[in-house]
Structure 1
Amino acid sequence: MRVGLFHTCLVDLMRPEIGFSVLKLLEAAGCEVMVPEAQTCCGQPAYNSGERAVSRDLAEKFLREFEMFDYIVVPSGSCGGMIRHHYADLLRDDPELNGRYERLRERVYELTDFLASVVRVETLPSTFSGQITYHDSCSGLRELGVKQQPRALLSRLPGVQLTEMKDCEACCGFGGTFSVKYGNISTAIVDEKCANIRATGADAVVLGDLGCILNIEGRLRRTGDSRTRVLHIAQVLAGDA
């Protein structure tokens, strides 16, 4: 199957190694992976800020670049949620574009959902071991139903011990532009998340959204925690952590 990888602008600009881990996983699962070179942002920051014209242009751009693939895989619940749900709002007044979008949207998958539900991987290219805890990122959980899929994949790694944290489904405080507009509230939320992570005694917190990674890792480091690793699940499943 031909898979288009939407690596997200955050991964591209901040942590490209995550993108390479995603590529490794998809190819190990037998996929022919294509990475459109002109891809940029899914449009979520503009959409959340009320810039509908900008986000609509990016939705159209995404359609042009990805509609030819059998599946589109996104290593981010927030970007996946934007594409799977909010493009419908942006394109609803254009019958031609909306029709193209409706034919595409059911082929868009968050990474762990694709690996667990579509290709149904049995083995993973990883020897990762350690005690971890898992943070459920808001958009992946609430917009895409990503909950058991990453845990099922992690259970295939015999060296991994998963200890669930308190309120694992609670927001980390990032929320895209929320953390910029409401810094004090965001800090209070991420402080609670960091306390719950530390309480598990885990060596690492694992999750599926880079925005949350940057927020949690940044706060852990600023409050003196240099021990707890903050990892994208692709890095763990690919054995790149």
Structure 2
Amino acid sequence: MSLTQADAQAWNSDLESKSPQEILAAALDKFDDNLAISFSGAEDVVLVDMAAKLGKPFRVFTLDTGRLHPETYRFLEKVRTHYGIKIEATFPEVAQVEKLIEEKGMFSFYQDDHKECCAIRKVGPLRRKLSTLSAWVTGQRKDQSPGTRVDIPVIQIDGAFSTESNQLIKFNPLANWSSEEVWAYIRTNEVPYNELHEKGFTSIGCEPCTRAVLPNQHEREGRWWWEEATAKECGLHAINVDKK
């Protein structure tokens, strides 16, 4: 399936007023086994729960950077067993990780910024995974980042990861939801969540680059806190920055 920008915009206009469940159902109906849900956090597990309740076959993948919190690994296992699903884990290339650490040490991102490490541990593995898919589903929300996510549509052509031979479609079913709606769904439906949320963590990534936030701080202020606040993307959603 190949879409023009006009096709994508028309489909987005049709879906943007729909519920996340309806958007997710449309995505699964259209792409079937060639689509997978990207899973790591609270928004993503909401999508997993919704997909499970739709009763349609679905795939889930996660990026294991090798530097996640112990709580995150326990969370991944909890979700796997709770829903009785396979979680397809994707890992960085060993040689690239070894080279980075040998040349720059374990914490070079505190001096160089996070992009090089994220490119090796997250973006490269994601690109490899997405090359096997026609579409993916993310838990992005417009209110997550005032600098990079405020304009995300519910469906888009993924210009960051599409190739000449593989056009990739990206679905963001929760784009119009707030954090409050996500957590209301989690509580109401007794959805598993990462125990770090009980310790003040709102947006959770790798352990060295994530910290708890204070009351009334924006939820992504705990990510790469030593860097400029309006461009906090690791590269997984680089299209949000590139289009600015």
- TM-score, normalised with respect to structure 1: 0.32
Higher relative contact order (CA 8 A, sep 6+): 2
More helix by share: 1
